[in-house]
Structure 1
Amino acid sequence: MQDFLWIAGAHFLALLSPGPDFFLVARSSLAHGWRGATGACIGIALANGVFIAAALGGLSVLRAGSTAFLVVQLVGCAYLFYLGWLFLRHAGKSSLDAKSASGTAHWRDGLLMGFMSAILNPKNALFYVSLAAVLASRHTSAGAMVAYGAWMVLAVLAWDMAVALAIGSATLRQRFAQALPLLERLSGVMLIVLAVVLLVQAGSGSR
């Protein structure tokens, strides 16, 4: 029980830290309502599930300093630049008065974008590999590992859905109607800054 509380607490604190996934969910929720953001939320949760399964399964290919990890960092930088550019390019073009875009095509696009955002974030890999190393050192059983992994995937999904529900409410969307272009530009800038920081870290780590 103590291990579970430690894992759950550390994971929740990590979720509280805003990153690319948060900006993606927030932007989707403001532009399309919480239903329009469900695809992105599920995609993010699935990507986290991939990292969790790999880390708890003992896959060390994404350990810090490895070639595979450096590739993920560089591709992640490129994707963050791309997301930031999209946010800046489409700033002010989203209509908050439109009906929630919850159609199949939009949901599928959100799912893919959410998955790519999370799977190309090397900080996710580092976090789960670190947790897995701690659990391995405590000789955690396979059953407990599976339970912890399932909990973390559900926690990611629940947190992102909560963010989508809070930000995507009709009342809040109306209040943010005029501020949305500025928020989109700020989100775009933040994503590009994150990409630059990640690129610098990748460069220093490869030396």
Structure 2
Amino acid sequence: MEQFLAVAVAHFLALLIPGVDFFLIARTTLTSGWRSASGVCVGIACANGVFVAAAFCGLAAITSPAVLQVVQGVGGGFLVVMGVTFLRARVDVGVASPARLARTTWTRNLGLGLASGLLNPKNALFYVSLAAVLTGAGPAVLTLYGVWMVAVVLAWDLFVAVALGSERARTRLARVLPWLTKVAGAVLVLLGIGMIVTLVAAAR
């Protein structure tokens, strides 16, 4: 029980730190509503599930230098593209029109969430670190841990989407959303460039 509490607390505290996933959920929620953003949440949870399964099954390939370099390079490019999209976006808060919903489908958001989660090398390293703590656990226990972690990721992300999607939150953030979007876009671009520069420097 003590081990479970320690792992659960460490995992949840990591979720509280705003990152790429948070920016993606927040922007999708505020522009298209929490129902549309739930696709992003499910995609992120699925990506976490992939890393959990790989780490707990002992797939060392996910932490090999070559794989991490590929993920870092592709992930950096993904962040730059996403950041530029944020910077160029026209942002307004309100009820999404049918045309907007057609362009921003649940399935598309699912793909964005999946890509955001899979292309973040920190996720792989985090779950591998947790798996190292659980080396003595059996398959049944590891399965319970994995289901718990994925469920918590999904529940937290949905909570964020629903909280930001409330009428009160959307009204309060209506004036600052354009600035928040630009700041988030700039942060994503900087993070992406930083990942690519670090990768290039390490390759020399």
TM band (smaller chain): over 0.9
Report matched runs for 1:120-131 at 5 Å: 120-131=119-130
Letter of the 1:96 counterpart? G
Match of 1:135 in 2: 134
Instruction: Flag as ranges the 4+ runs of structure 1 deviating above 6 A.
Output: 100-105
Match of 1:148 among 145, 149, 159: 145
Corresponding pairs, count: 203
- List gaps (5 residues or longer) in structure 1: none
Question: Any conservation in 2 of the 1:41–1:111 contact (CA below 8 Å)?
Answer: yes
Once residues 26 and 183 of structure 1 are traced to their aligned partners in structure 2, the CA distance between those partners, rounded to angstroms, is 10
Match of 1:170 in 2: 167
Deviation of 1:105 after TM superposition, in Å, equals 6.3
Using the size of structure 2 for normalisation, the TM-score is 0.92
Question: Any conservation in 2 of the 1:26–1:164 contact (CA below 8 Å)?
Answer: yes
Using the size of structure 1 for normalisation, the TM-score is 0.91
CA RMSD of aligned residues (A): 1.9
Structure 1 residues 32 and 145, CA gap change in structure 2 (3 angstroms): same
Question: Any conservation in 1 of the 2:51–2:127 contact (CA below 8 Å)?
Answer: yes
Once residues 52 and 155 of structure 1 are traced to their aligned partners in structure 2, the CA distance between those partners, rounded to angstroms, is 13
Letter of the 1:186 counterpart? V
Match of 1:68 in 2: 67
Match of 2:182 in 1: 185
- List gaps (5 residues or longer) in structure 2: none
CA shift digits 1:1-28 (9 cap, x unpaired)? 1111111011001101111100000001
Match of 1:12 in 2: 12
Match of 2:57 in 1: 57
Say which structure is richer in helix: 2
